[in-house]
Amino acid sequence: MNPPTRRERRKQPIRRSVQSALELYLGDLDGTKVNDLYHVVLDEVEPAILDVVMNHVDGNQSQAAELLGISRGTLRKKLKTYRYRL
């Protein structure tokens, strides 16, 4: 089977990508107990979102905040939380 083309990958909803990643993660735990999966996922996903968006807008915080649908102050707080280079 051929790997999906770039266009086909874009058609896959983000939700499905997250589901696949979580299924792999949980499968890799091999019985190890997880107590805080929600926060584990958020702590991985949120910095990734910020990184991709900040790169997409070439570091422009106003544009990033607008794209994310949050205030610039909230964005700055999140960037500081994840020690993103301001």
Express each pLDDT in 10-40 by its tens digit.
Answer: 677 899 999 999 999 999 998 899 899 999 9
**Distance between CA atoms of residues 85 and 77, nearest Å:** 12
Q: Is the separation of the CB atoms in 22 and 38 below 8 Å?
A: no
Tokens for 19? Answer: 């589901």
pLDDT score of 20: 94
pLDDT score of 84: 76
- The model carries a pTM of 0.75
Q: How far is CA 32 from CA 2, 23, 28, 75, in A?
A: 34, 14, 9, 34
Domains of the chain, earliest start first: 6-81 (1.10.10.60)
The residue that leads in pLDDT, 4 or 22, is 22
Q: State the chain's mean pLDDT as an integer.
A: 89
pLDDT score of 50: 97
**Average pLDDT score over residue span 35-62:** 95
Q: How far is CA 24 from CA 4, 27, 73, in A?
A: 19, 5, 35
